[in-house]
Amino acid sequence: MKRRGDWVSAFIFLLPLLFTLAVAFIYAFVRTVYFSFTDYNLFHITKFVGLDNYTQLFADYRFVLALTHSLVYAVVVTASQTFLALLLAIVLNQKIRGLTFFRAAYYVPSVASSVAITLIFIWLMNRRGTVNWLLTALGRYWPLIVIGLALVILVQWLQVFSERRHGLPARAFDPALLGISLLTGVVVTTILGQLGVVHPYPMADAVIPWLTTRKMFLGIPLPLLSVMMLNIWTTTPTMMLLLLAGLQDVPQELYEAADMDGATPGQKLLHVTVPAIRPLLFMVITMGLIGTLQVFDQIAIMAGVAPLESTITLAYYVYWNMFGSGGLPKVGMASAAALVLAALTLVIVFIQRRVGFSEKGWYS
């Protein structure tokens, strides 16, 4: 039986959080629901329009595009980043040299400002940017690269062969021999290039418009695909860190027992590691889905460069209705879209929990 005083002190401690929750969430949510049934534009007395905003939403081709993009984005990015994060976590959970360096280095993309990263990314993907420059270099110099590589392999094989014939224990990738092979390969290729025996391939500059195009790849607009790759690169490390923490808690005895039963590494991953970190996988996937469904900053910065139809997602559609069109804000439409996004997020997380990984752990 609790005393009355306990309730009071508990309530006082909860008050700051309850207050911010009430103001920033409940009040805002109720207002959004209300606005979604009106034609409010931030300034004028509102008129109740019933479900008009919702029917207009689904009639607006931009909303349908945004919805499709958001779903594709969430599924592809969450799946890729979870898989990569698990892979990285397993690698970084091994006892390898320079472990702390790698853990720190892999985490850098997550620490850097996503705005700054997106801007740098836009420069790299420019029509005359670094990515196209690299592609041009590769396209031009592949004959030299191929010949150089072939030479390296040939010289290495000759050296190893000759060492072994003399009864010396040379490994295939002996570092000293490899150094000589590389040097020979580079010098000979350079001389061949200078003498004009091997020509670079005559290719025009690659000016692939990665970000300003309407082209698609597997049904996904290229600019959106670029943002996806960027997002996977920046979020994977955070997820990796979470999974790494989980991996370190997996009891070593389980692996020992599996070893005794003759389990392969693949079986150990699927039947020991994954079930043991199930609650963390649930968290990583759920956070991934929520984060990707609400992606905004990278899309907003990209919007200055890429066509609207090629990058628009639901969260950006909400913003676009408020401030993007140049006219008075369409608060009703924006609110309706925001609620659709919220409902969608709930439904997807629910489905994920039912058919994918749930938070139920190893022991439950």
Partner 1 sequence: MRKILLALVIVGLVVGVGFAQDKVTIRLAGYSGDTPLMQDVLARFVADKIPGVEVVWEPITEDFLAFVLRTLSAGTAPDVFYVDLGWAKTVAETGLVEPLDDYMANSAVLNKGDLIPALENAFTFDGKIYAISKDFNSLVIFYNKDMFDEMGVAYPSDDDTWATLLGKIAQVNNPGKWYGACINADAARFLPFAFAAGMPFLKDDGTGPFDLASAKLAADWFTSFNRLGISATSAEIGAGWPGAAFISEQAATCIEGGWLIPPIRNENPTLNFGTTFLPSPWENGPRSNYLFTVGYGMPTSPASGRPDLAFKVIEILTSPEVQNYILESGHAIPSRAALLNSAYFQQKDDFAQATKKVFEATALPGTVPFTFGEIGQGVYMGAVGEALTLIMQGEETVEEAMNEAVAKLSK
Residues that bind partner 1 (CB under 8 A): 42-44, 60-62, 126-128, 207, 209, 212-215, 305, 307-309, 322-329
- Give the span between the Cα atoms of 270 and 82, in whole angstroms: 15
CA distance between the termini of the chain: 30
Which is closer to partner 1, CB of 47 or CB of 214? Answer: 214
Q: State the nearest-atom distance from the C-beta of 32 to partner 1, in Å.
A: 15
Give yes or no for a contact between 95 and 337, defined as CB atoms under 8 angstroms apart.
no
Q: State the nearest-atom distance from the C-beta of 122 to partner 1, in Å.
A: 8
Q: State the nearest-atom distance from the C-beta of 94 to partner 1, in Å.
A: 43
Q: Which residues pair with 170 in a beta bridge?
A: none
Cβ neighbors of 166 (< 8 A, separation 6 or more) are none
Nearest C-alpha neighbor of 276 from the set 99, 89, 100? 89
Q: State the nearest-atom distance from the C-beta of 202 to partner 1, in Å.
A: 17
Give yes or no for a contact between 291 and 348, defined as CB atoms under 8 angstroms apart.
no
Which is closer to partner 1, CB of 203 or CB of 290? Answer: 203
Q: State the nearest-atom distance from the C-beta of 211 to partner 1, in Å.
A: 9
Q: 151-158: list long-range contacts, CB under 8 Å, 24+ apart.
A: 151/181, 151/184, 151/185, 151/188, 151/189, 152/181, 152/182, 152/184, 152/185, 153/181, 155/180, 155/181, 155/184, 155/185, 156/181
Q: State the nearest-atom distance from the C-beta of 200 to partner 1, in Å.
A: 18
CA dihedral 250, 256, 257, 262 (to 10 degrees): 120
Which is closer to partner 1, CB of 213 or CB of 294? Answer: 213
Nearest C-alpha neighbor of 342 from the set 77, 33, 31? 33
Which is closer to partner 1, CB of 291 or CB of 307? Answer: 307
